[in-house]
Amino acid sequence: MKKSLPIWLIIIIVIETLPMFIGPYIAIFNPSKMGFSDAVGGTGPAFIYAARNIAVGLAFILAFVLRNRSMLFILILIRLITDLWDLPVGIQFGIWSSTPRAIAMFTLLYYLPALYALRYLWKEIKEEG
Q: Would you say residue 95 has pLDDT above 80?
A: no
| Spans of all domains in the chain | 17-67, 68-129
Tell me: the pLDDT tens digits for 58-86?
A: 999 999 999 999 999 999 999 999 889 88
Is the pTM value of this prediction over 0.85? no
pLDDT recorded at residue 81 = 92
Q: Are 90 and 35 contacting, i.e. CB atoms less than 8 angstroms apart? A: yes
Choose between 83 and 95: higher pLDDT.
Answer: 83
Averaged over 19-42, what is the pLDDT? 73
Determine the average pLDDT of the residues in 8-33: 88
What's the pLDDT band for 36 if we cut at 50, 70, 90? low
Residue 96: its pLDDT value, please?
A: 76
